[in-house]
């Protein structure tokens, strides 16, 4: 029989098993046709004493609508929670409302309604953007106060004309960009180019047309 390979974990050696009979990897039984996944002892240094209640190779906790039942419980099992777990195995009528809430919060950090509720992160985003805009405005104001005649060279007509000429020579954006507006056979701009350009580009393009 052709053997199949059992998926190894970090501490388990790669082992082949027969498809027709159960095999063992260490002390773990492997059913025919199934892969071996590491158990709690494999991840206990990471997840602590949290109980693994779901299936999967990597147990982790998350609050999400797409994963309503995480693979592990939220809280680690301590002495008080352990006693409550034993009480949970009996009649639930003997559990108080606080006991039920404690058991729920031990398994889940948030309810689905709490996950659905707005987080308020948009306020921080607006605040951060407002601070950045204020700093940029302050920087521009300082530059304008220090040198009223200052003008970046990239906004001058000469720079825009030279950049437009460079883009045409390099045939940049030949499908729907500036190169598509230029008639390379007749060495001039197409009659329909103006409806796709901005005012600044129109000035530079007209300047190039006049040069030609």
Cα dihedral 195, 200, 202, 204 in deg (nearest 10): -150
Residues 142 and 77 in one domain: no
Based on the fold, state whether residues 52 and 105 are members of the same structural domain.
yes
- Residues 41 and 96 placed together within one structural domain of the fold: yes
- Is 106 in the same domain as 30? yes
Residue 122: closest CA among 132, 134, 130: 130
Banded pLDDT at 182 (limits 50, 70, 90):
confident
pLDDT tens for 145-181 read 888 888 888 888 889 888 988 998 999 988 888 888 8
Average pLDDT on 117-126 reads 90
| Residues 135 and 38 reside in one and the same domain | no
Tokens 């590491």, residue located = 38
For 28, the enclosing helix (H) or strand (E) is strand 28-30
Tally the residues of the chain.
Answer: 212
The whole-angstrom separation of Cα 202 and Cα 111 is 58
Please, are residues 50 and 73 in contact by the beta-carbon 8 Å criterion?
yes
Token readout for 59 is 């147990």
Q: Are residues 174 and 110 in the same domain?
A: no
Diameter of the chain measured on Cα atoms: 94
Mean pLDDT calculated for residue range 25-35: 43
> Residue 128's domain spans which residues?
121-150
Residue 68 and residue 138 in one domain: no
Please state the separation of Cα 82 from the chain's center in Å.
37
Phi, psi of 181, rounded to the nearest 5 degrees: -85, -10
| Residues 142 and 193 both lie in one domain | no
Give 26's pLDDT tier (boundaries 50, 70, 90): very low
* pLDDT score of 119: 83
| Mean per-residue pLDDT over the chain, rounded | 75
* Same domain membership, residue 132 and residue 163: no
pLDDT band per the 50, 70, 90 thresholds, residue 204: low
* Domain-ending residue, one of 131, 150, 169: 150
55 and 32 in a common domain: yes
Q: Are residues 160 and 72 in the same domain?
A: no
How many structural domains comprise the chain? 3
Task: Please identify which residue in the block is written with the tokens 């906004």.
Answer: 155
Same domain, 110 and 12: yes
């Amino acid at each position: 029989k052709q053997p199949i390979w059992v998926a190894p974990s970090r501490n388990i050696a790669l082992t082949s098993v027969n498809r027709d009979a159960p095999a063992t990897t260490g002390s773990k039984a492997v059913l025919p046709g199934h892969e071996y996944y590491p158990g709690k002892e494999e991840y206990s240094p990471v997840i602590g004493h949290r109980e693994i209640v779901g299936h999967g190779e990597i147990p982790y906790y998350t609050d999400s609508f797409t994963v309503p039942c995480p693979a592990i419980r939220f809280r680690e099992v301590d002495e008080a929670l352990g006693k409550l777990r034993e009480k949970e195995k009996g009649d639930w009528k003997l559990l108080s409302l606080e006991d039920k809430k404690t058991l729920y919060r031990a398994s889940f950090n948030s309810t689905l309604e709490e996950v659905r509720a707005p987080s308020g992160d948009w306020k921080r985003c607006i605040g951060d953007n407002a601070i950045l805009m204020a700093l940029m405005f302050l920087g521009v104001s300082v530059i304008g106060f220090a040198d009223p005649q200052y003008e970046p060279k990239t906004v001058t007509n000469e720079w825009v004309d030279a950049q437009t000429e460079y883009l045409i020579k390099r045939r940049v954006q030949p499908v729907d960009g500036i190169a598509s507006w230029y008639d390379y056979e007749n060495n001039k701009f197409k009659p329909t180019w103006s409806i796709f350009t901005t005012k600044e580009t129109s000035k530079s393009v007209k300047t190039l047309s006049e040069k030609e």
